[in-house]
């Protein structure tokens, strides 16, 4: 079965979405990710969606729920690299993703995650 | 429907000079000759009368859609576009046709003095024909004006969304004029694209030049700000004038999630502290 790879970088997990997200793939990712977070006690999750150029409400909701899940497992979620078209679509769909942290690219996202971790 | 009689046509043809004279006098009396050279006017009226009599002869009836009226239609289209260029308004343009009615009717009245029934019928036909010509003229005139307006609108749209770079990582978008749906869409797209291109973390939208902020404009602003946040950048709205602040509060609009500043310099100061110091902030 098709899966989205989850890479580990120290205390952080890095997920790069490079294929078209369909619903089953999104659900699998959600399961895999929660399982990995709890296994390695990750402190932060970075989701890079810069290659994603199409979203629907389901994917939007999935991003929000991954963020919620990770917070419960004490891992900070960062969504990075969202394309303008995707951002406009999400706003028009009314999915403003409150509580989800965002950054322009992986580098900045990682920087912010590290800073937050130092503070706590 | 009765057709125009040959006798009417003859009357028009044999009295051309007199018709032209009265027609031009009527045009001048109503100010429809502004900026027009006398020579040009004479030529135009003569040409039109010639075309009119040709059209009547062609037997295409009195509906302007007929093939016999092609030349007349082309003439009218050319006329209305030159009038539009000369700055004539719609009334002055269409009066070119309607001014012919008076002299023509007087002519027919004299011609059919002894036959009131035919006179009424012929007058009605001529009147209908001239009316439809007037309508055609005004339609072309309007169409050419609308093309100009549309082109200007598009140009305005492109000109009105300049995204400027104020500092490394700081973009500014000075908005001038009313924000409607189409414009705010263009604004949003170009700003988001520039954020991606330059990797800027802060965008300042300056609304000093926006005359009014109503619920719709506020809605557009909120959407833009949310989209910017989703992309991982931050947005500051600046240039909120006191009256606009009052309007926003009186309308009960919730701009709670927005960072707002009174003027651009305050916004830039805030942006610089953020870019220079703490790179990431909780959003």
Tens of pLDDT along B99-109? 888 888 888 88
pLDDT computed for residue A15 by the predictor: 93
Q: Do B145 and B93 meet the contact criterion of CB atoms below 8 Å apart?
A: no
For A70-103, the pLDDT digits (tens) are: 989 989 899 999 999 999 999 999 888 888 899 9
- Residue A93 forms contact with B (CB below 8 Å): no
| Poorest-pLDDT segment among A15-29, B13-27, B60-74, B135-149 | B60-74
Q: Collect all residues with Cβ–Cβ distance below 8 Å to B176 and sequence separation of at least 6.
A: B160, B209, B210
Range of the domain at A64: 6-119
Question: Are residues B230 and A96, on separate chains, in Cβ contact within 8 Å?
Answer: yes
pLDDT computed for residue B178 by the predictor: 79
Residue B195: both structure tokens together:
């954020």
Instruction: Among B189, B231, B280, select the one facing A82 at the smallest CB separation.
Output: B231
Domain boundaries along the sequence of chain B: 6-155, 164-276
Question: Are residues B199 and A105, on separate chains, in Cβ contact within 8 Å?
Answer: yes
H helix runs in chain A, sequence order: 23-40, 57-72, 84-92, 106-119
Residue B210: both structure tokens together:
């926006």
Show residues of chain B in contact with A103, CB under 8 Å.
232, 280
Closest residue in chain B to residue A49, using alpha carbons only: B231
pLDDT at B126 over 60: yes
Pick from A73, A77, A75, A74: nearest CA to A62: A77
Residue B214, φ and ψ in degrees, nearest 5:
-110, -175
Total number of domains in chain A: 1
pLDDT computed for residue B256 by the predictor: 73
pLDDT at B203 over 90: yes
Show residues of chain B in contact with A109, CB under 8 Å.
232
**Which three-class secondary structure string do you get for B157-173?**
HHHCCCCEEEECCEEEE
* Cβ-count burial B5-14 (b if 16+ within 10 Å, e if not): eeebeebbee
pLDDT computed for residue B61 by the predictor: 64
CA–CA distance, A65 with A31 (Å, rounded to integer)? 11
Question: Are residues A115 and B227, on separate chains, in Cβ contact within 8 Å?
Answer: no
- Residue A88 forms contact with B (CB below 8 Å): yes
CATH for the stretch B6-155: 1.10.490.10
Instruction: Among A80, A84, A108, select the one facing B196 at the smallest CB separation.
Output: A84
- Note whether residue A1 is domain-resident: no
pLDDT at B60 over 70: no
Question: Are residues A115 and B279, on separate chains, in Cβ contact within 8 Å?
Answer: yes
Count H helices and E strands in chain B, helices first: 11, 5
Instruction: Among A79, A87, A115, select the one facing B192 at the smallest CB separation.
Output: A87
Q: Report the residue of B188, B232, B234 to disrupt the A interface, i.e. the one with the largest count of A CBs within 10 Å.
A: B232
- Note whether residue A59 is domain-resident: yes
pLDDT at A113 over 60: yes
CA–CA distance, B159 with B94 (Å, rounded to integer)? 35
The 10 Å Cβ neighbour count of residue B154 is 10
Pick from B55, B221, B79: nearest CA to B129: B55
For B143-157, the pLDDT digits (tens) are: 888 888 888 888 877
| Poorest-pLDDT segment among B123-132, B159-168, B271-280 | B271-280
- Note whether residue A68 is domain-resident: yes
pLDDT at B236 over 90: yes
- Residue A105 forms contact with B (CB below 8 Å): yes
pLDDT computed for residue A13 by the predictor: 93
The stretch A44-60 carries a mean pLDDT of 89
Look up the CATH number of the domain holding residue A43: 3.30.750.24
pLDDT at B214 over 60: yes
Average pLDDT across chain B, whole number: 83
- Note whether residue A15 is domain-resident: yes
pLDDT at B281 over 50: no
- Residue A118 forms contact with B (CB below 8 Å): no
pLDDT computed for residue A37 by the predictor: 92
pLDDT at B63 over 80: no
For A24-36, the pLDDT digits (tens) are: 888 899 999 999 9
The stretch B168-179 carries a mean pLDDT of 87
pLDDT at B280 over 60: no
Residue B18: both structure tokens together:
């007199």
The stretch B220-245 carries a mean pLDDT of 90
Reply yes or no on domain B164-276 having CATH 3.90.79.10. Answer: no
- Residue A94 forms contact with B (CB below 8 Å): no
Mark out chain B residues that contact chain A at CB-CB < 8 A. 188-189, 192-193, 195-196, 199-201, 223, 226-233, 278-280, 282-283
pLDDT at B172 over 90: yes
Closest residue in chain A to residue B229, using alpha carbons only: A102
Q: Which residue has the tokens 């539009």?
A: B84
Question: Are residues A84 and B223, on separate chains, in Cβ contact within 8 Å?
Answer: no
């Amino acid at each position: 079965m098709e899966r989205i790879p989850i890479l580990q970088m120290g205390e952080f997990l890095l997920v790069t979405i490079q294929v078209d997200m369909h619903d089953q793939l999104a659900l699998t990712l959600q399961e895999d990710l929660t399982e990995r977070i709890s296994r390695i006690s990750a402190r932060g999750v970075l989701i890079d969606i810069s290659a994603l150029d199409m979203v629907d409400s389901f994917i939007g909701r999935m991003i929000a729920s991954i963020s919620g899940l990770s917070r419960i497992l004490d891992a900070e979620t960062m969504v990075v690299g969202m394309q303008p078209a995707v951002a406009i679509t999400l706003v028009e769909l009314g999915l403003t993703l409150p509580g989800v942290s965002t950054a322009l690219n992986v580098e900045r996202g990682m920087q912010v995650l590290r800073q937050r971790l130092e503070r706590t | 429907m009765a057709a125009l009689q040959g006798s009417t046509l003859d009357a028009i043809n044999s009295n051309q000079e007199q018709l032209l004279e009265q027609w031009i006098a009527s045009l001048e009396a109503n100010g429809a000759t502004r900026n027009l050279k006398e020579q040009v006017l004479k030529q135009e009226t003569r040409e039109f009368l010639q075309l009119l009599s040709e059209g009547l002869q062609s037997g295409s009836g009195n509906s302007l859609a007929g093939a016999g009226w092609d030349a007349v239609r082309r003439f009218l289209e050319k006329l209305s576009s030159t009038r539009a260029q000369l700055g004539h308004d719609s009334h002055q343009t269409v009066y070119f046709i309607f001014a012919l009615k008076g002299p023509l009717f007087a002519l027919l009245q004299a011609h059919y003095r002894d036959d009131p029934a035919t006179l009424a019928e012929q007058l009605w036909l001529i009147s209908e024909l001239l009316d439809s010509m007037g309508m055609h003229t005004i339609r072309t005139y309007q169409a050419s004006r609308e093309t100009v307006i549309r082109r200007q609108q598009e140009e305005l749209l492109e000109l009105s969304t300049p995204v400027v770079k104020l500092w490394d990582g700081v973009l500014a978008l000075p908005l001038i004029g009313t924000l409607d749906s189409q414009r705010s869409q263009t604004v949003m797209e170009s700003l988001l694209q520039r954020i991606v291109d330059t990797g800027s973390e802060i965008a300042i939208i300056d609304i000093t030049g926006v005359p009014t902020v109503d619920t719709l404009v506020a809605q557009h602003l909120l959407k833009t700000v949310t989209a910017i946040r989703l992309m991982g950048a931050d947005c500051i709205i600046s240039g909120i004038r006191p009256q606009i602040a009052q309007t926003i509060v009186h309308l009960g609009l919730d701009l709670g999630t927005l960072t707002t500043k009174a003027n651009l310099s305050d916004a830039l100061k805030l942006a610089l502290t953020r870019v220079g110091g703490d790179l990431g902030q909780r959003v």
